Structure 1
């Protein structure tokens, strides 16, 4: 593993997270240069190691696990045993940040709760990511992405009008919680740099979900009315949706009235400009079904490629609805280097999705592929804690560090 570099180089994170929200947070920290020591259960490891198929070709690693665990060192420790808990405490003497997504109160049973650690480690930044946060009536409940999407309202907004509620096709509740956790850690680091004080960061997936309801949440607060499901239409802009073309579909994004005027004049729809039902964005939103019905015959007159060429020439927002094969083949995605290859501990080369944060002076670094379970146990315990081979063998024999 290469030496850490980047804006967070020199920081060390004890990562007690698993599945997606927590690992998303810690992978971002790792990409930015922090050293991540990922603690996993002996033999089983992170749950997502078993979230397969698909596996990465020619390995035993799930694609799911590989997606959010690069730049991490895997150390197997049994936290349920006193010896494992003692080793965590020793590791914390060398760490700046602890990230965890155990159920509320679970780590306290092992003597590893924030209240138990804050006096011993006053500079420690302790990030807890749970389904519902550390307080409130739902705090003891487990959190799952689909559950949070349902309870947080986005499923009521997603789907075709009159159809059933739909979750988003990727686990956005987990991902947002992880990213908000990372933001909280960065803020806490800045505070610690100024004061020398650590603190706990309490991230609830439902909280973060409510926060990113964004314009739709504000639409409700402004009106007291539940926004309806609109399929691919925009609640506040029209036309801003998918349209059928001669050979497929296209997203058309007309963001304001001057753009709508330019669109209409270019494609023989001037009559819409003099019609009060279409003259302003507000009137078009009120008559969105009529807007769709009026524009659809015109949109069917060209292929998707023809529309993109014509609309881009007029600087009107548009784009194809790509499959993932088309996404990763897209020349812009490739130019932005959003896929990279890393040498995995299995000996195979694995493809992973790159970090999207582009920093001019301290860009993300890709030092090591997602680890094989327990790959770095000996390295960390001997190198960081100075444990001898005999001590390591004893831990292994007791099942503290696994096979």
Structure 2
């Protein structure tokens, strides 16, 4: 990364230590974001490792790409909390950490003295983030799988064609949203700790994150009493907004206002459509969306999707071809977003951190770790009386007589 004048080579969370007892996706995604921003993340796994280490295929060098996607920049140690020595090590880590994040089942950490009440009493400085599937009350017994949240929240019911059954999203979207919410909560609690000197407990769950993440769809029911239905690729409030058949393949057109529609009609050679009372306003276009689709597709047939993209973007009409994941990564590269960032000395390809800072640095210093990879350095740091800051290179050098 090229640093600008007045910039800092440190991440915004430099000096913050995160004890990461989470696994699979929501928690590890949150802690990877924190690690990218400069926090020291100690990833604590069971002796058998994070479940996603075995979620194969696909793989890279015998490592599951699922695990690689959310675990860069972390230092790994394996602990069996049923073992007294390992449990003591876990508590030493909590004593030196600033943040403790876990996604155990509600009540599962109580026998280890690591439940919210015990942590608040023993480690009042800690920001403790708990991730569950459906909260700690009536849904405490429900397993926290993203697919269940997609089903229970209504996302599956509004996804797919009207005549089809419910369809899940192509990614564990609510795990990701919950991970983002956990990150926001942690950052807020760290800021508040600056003022009060005290940590606090943060609770997030997949179901609440799902309902929040469904935004306008949930609001349609909560505020308007409307139960959203499946509309395929159409939008409930905008038209034209979705895929339309061009000369060779679908073309995405996303018209958000009347001015954009007027420019679209002119670009297609039928400016009179913008003055047609059926299409002149967004509510009218919504009421006549099928007639409008037929009108537009007659004219879209004259050129390929890529030709239309070039022409429509020239007049500022939001549009796109429908890409594969591979084409999407290539497109991001073409427009200068640098979506692939190699991590660590191993140069493991990872997806770029989504935030850019004008002064501070986002790092890709460490590849996703092997199981228990950093145990010696972590244990040496935990048992010394030195600073709370963990530096694996410094500890390793000192252990080797450096």
Return the TM-score normalized by structure 1: 0.90
After the TM superposition, list the runs of 4 or more consecutive aligned residues in structure 1 that deviate by more than 6 angstroms.
none
What secondary structure sits across from 1:284 in the alignment? helix
2:360 match: 362
1:352 match: 350
- The aligned runs of 1:315-334 (5 Å cut-off) are 315-330=316-331, 332=333
What do the CA deviations read for 1:290-335 (whole angstroms, capped 9, x no partner)? 2212211112221011101110111110011111121122254662
2:134 match: 132
- The alpha-carbon deviation at position 107 of structure 1 amounts to 0.7
1:229 match: 230
Alignment RMSD:
1.6
What do the CA deviations read for 1:234-279 (whole angstroms, capped 9, x no partner)? 1111001101111111110111001111211232223323332211
What secondary structure sits across from 1:366 in the alignment? coil
2:188 match: 187
- The alpha-carbon deviation at position 338 of structure 1 amounts to 1.3
- The alpha-carbon deviation at position 149 of structure 1 amounts to 0.5
What do the CA deviations read for 1:13-65 (whole angstroms, capped 9, x no partner)? 000000000000100110010000010111x1000000001111xx2310000
> Structure 2 stretches of 5 or more lacking a match?
1-8, 386-402
What secondary structure sits across from 1:151 in the alignment? helix
> Among 75, 78, 84, which residue is 2:77 paired with?
75
The more displaced of 158-167 and 6-15 is 158-167
Change beyond 3 A, Cα 1:153–1:108: same
- The aligned runs of 1:97-136 (5 Å cut-off) are 97-134=99-136, 136=137
Distance 1:300 1:234 in 2: 22
1:379 match: 377
- The alpha-carbon deviation at position 190 of structure 1 amounts to 0.6
What secondary structure sits across from 1:330 in the alignment? helix
1:327–1:333 contact (8 Å) kept in structure 2: no
Change beyond 3 A, Cα 1:149–1:98: same
What do the CA deviations read for 1:326-357 (whole angstroms, capped 9, x no partner)? 1122254662111012246xxx5421101010
Distance 1:174 1:156 in 2: 18
> Structure 1 stretches of 5 or more lacking a match?
388-403
1:24 match: 29
Change beyond 3 A, Cα 1:86–1:30: same
2:397 match: none
Return the TM-score normalized by structure 2: 0.91
2:42 match: 37
1:400 match: none
Change beyond 3 A, Cα 1:187–1:168: same
1:391 match: none
1:256 match: 257
